[in-house]
Every structure is written in C-alpha cells, then in structure tokens.
Amino acid sequence: MRPPADAIATLSLIVGAIALLIFIGVEGALVYAIWRYRAARHVAGEPATFERNRRLEIAWTAAPAVILAVVFVLTLGTMAEINGAGVAPAMRIAATGHQWWWEFSYAGVATANELHIPVDTPVDLELTSADVIHSFWVPELGPKMDMLPGVTNRLRLFARRAGSYDGQCAEFCGIEHAWMRIRVVAQSRAEFDTWLSAQAAPAPHGSEGERVFLANICVNCHAVRGTSAAGTAGPDLTHVGARTMIGAGVLPNDVARMRAWLADPERYKPGTLMPSVPLSDADLDAVAAYLVSLR
C-alpha cells in the first residue's frame, strides 16, 4: 500500500485541477461578456430580454451534478484506500488522548507522546480519549481523526521512509491544546524491535532518585514498571529518558530541563495538570537524574 497522505494528495490535485478548469471557464466567460457588451458597443434602446432557455438550464444543472458525482466517487475510493481496504494491519497500537498528552500502548508496553512505528508496515491506531475530544493528526502520514471518550476510532498509518514526523492535536481541547504535540518515529523493523524490547524491560532499581520519586506524590499519577509506582493519570515514565521531549513537546529532554520542569511545570506549560512538587534542591537533582536515566 502507499502512505494514506499520498492518496489524499492525489485526490487534492485532481479536485484542484477540476476547480481550476471551472475557474478558468467562469472567469473567461465573465471577461468575454465584459468585453463583448462594453458600453462603447452599447446600442440605444431597450436591451434584449430573454425568457427560458431550457438547454442552458439543463446544462448548468447537469454539469455541476456530474462534477460533484465524479468528486464523490473519487473521494469514496480515497477514503476506502486510506482506511486500508484490503490490507490487513500488521500491528495495532492503542492511542489515547489526555489533557494534554498522548498515551500509546503496545500490548502491555505504555509510552507517551512519541509513537514508534516500523516503516513499510500498515499500522492501525485505535484512538480514544480519557477526557475531552482530541484529534490525532500527523499530516505527512495520514488523515486527521477524532479521539472521542467512550468510542474507539481506527486510523491507518503507513510510513514509507524512516524518520520523524511531527503532528499536533487538531481539536481544541483546553488551555494547553497547543502543547499537545505528537512525534512519530518511523524506524526500520530491526530498530523498531530493539526499541520495543527496550521499552518492555522494567526500570532499573536502586538510585537515590528512585527513592525520592517513590516517596512523593509522583506515584499518584505516574507509573514506573518494576516499582510500586502505578498511577495512570499521567504518562508512564518507565522509559521517559528515551523520549526526545518533555511535556508533549515543551522542552527537550535532558537533566537540566527535566529538573526545571519538575521544579515548576506551570512555568513551561501553564494550566498543565501536573502540580509542582515541593522538593529540596538535592531531591530535585536526584529525581531529574533518575528520570532521564530511565532509557
């Protein structure tokens, strides 16, 4: 199959070409009429009047109907194609919208905001929402699809080339709607398998940062597999260090920025549902280092 975005681009070009022909025809007739019936040629007396021209009326009713019917049929074909008609998905990933981040689950492995997929592989996303209506949209890969609470929508993704594809929540979903970025990382099958098995591993134990993390309210909202932290309100942090960004795109992910984010999330993402946790400087250092080490 070809990427859904390619099919959409082809349809856009065809519809654009039809619209351009109509534009040229209508504007051409207008310019001709202006020239042909200009004032300099005006003949004195009453202008001619017309009543009924059946042929003309049939033509200007039938022509738009035919054009719309053609566009409708082409659109149905494109919709079937981008839904993956006849091509079974090789992988299903559950994608859940949250205020204001994305949860991606691969059979027991949960991650956030960065969706990894293998290239040349039809992937079906099962989209839903945990709170309000969001919309998943990565323009280079496929169409836009709503994420509705209590409903599961299916979206076919297919990447031909490896690389990063950025997207954005496309349905206004509250104050931090603009900071609800998606990054899709398309990888070769081998790289993807390596990534997925690393994600499936539990987090390493024994650091001071882990102790501080587990002793504070972090665990009410966040899970780290392999520890007692099992919160589900916020992103799973088991391998948060492997992600390129913090807070669904607000900050690059490194120890200094992680520390700044933990100290005052509101400063970088006003309205975020993550509270700032009152920690000592030493504890902040330890938790930031711990989280970034979870790769």
Binding site for Cu ion (CB under 5 A): 134, 169, 173, 180
What lies within 8 Å, CB to CB, of 276 at 6+ separation is: 262, 263, 264, 265, 266
Cβ-based nearer residue to Cu ion, 144 or 160 = 144
Cβ-based nearer residue to Cu ion, 173 or 287 = 173
Cβ-based nearer residue to Cu ion, 104 or 192 = 104
Distance of closest approach, residue 183 Cβ to Cu ion, in angstroms? 15
Cβ-based nearer residue to Cu ion, 125 or 291 = 125
Distances (CA, A) of 27 to 32, 59, 61: 8, 18, 19
Cβ-based nearer residue to Cu ion, 82 or 169 = 169
Cβ-based nearer residue to Cu ion, 169 or 203 = 169
Question: For residue 88, how far is the Cα from the chain centroid?
Answer: 22
Distance of closest approach, residue 149 Cβ to Cu ion, in angstroms? 12
DSSP 8-state symbol, 41: G
β-pairing verdict for 91-98 and 123-129: parallel
Distance of closest approach, residue 234 Cβ to Cu ion, in angstroms? 15
Distance of closest approach, residue 238 Cβ to Cu ion, in angstroms? 23
Distance of closest approach, residue 241 Cβ to Cu ion, in angstroms? 25
Q: Give the residue among 80, 72, 102, 76 at the shortest CA–CA distance from 156.
A: 80
Distance of closest approach, residue 263 Cβ to Cu ion, in angstroms? 26
Q: Give the residue among 218, 222, 134, 226 at the shortest CA–CA distance from 180.
A: 134
Please state, in angstroms and rounded to a whole number, the distance separating the CA atoms of residues 226 and 203. Answer: 6
Distance of closest approach, residue 219 Cβ to Cu ion, in angstroms? 25
Cβ-based nearer residue to Cu ion, 123 or 180 = 180
Distance of closest approach, residue 135 Cβ to Cu ion, in angstroms? 7
Q: Max CA-CA distance within the chain?
A: 101
Cβ-based nearer residue to Cu ion, 169 or 218 = 169
Q: Is the alpha carbon torsion for 213, 225, 235, 289 positive or negative?
A: positive
3-state DSSP call for residue 69? helix
Q: Give the residue among 291, 225, 238 at the shortest CA–CA distance from 112.
A: 238
Question: For residue 247, how far is the Cα from the chain centroid?
Answer: 16
Q: Give the residue among 273, 271, 277 at the shortest CA–CA distance from 258.
A: 277
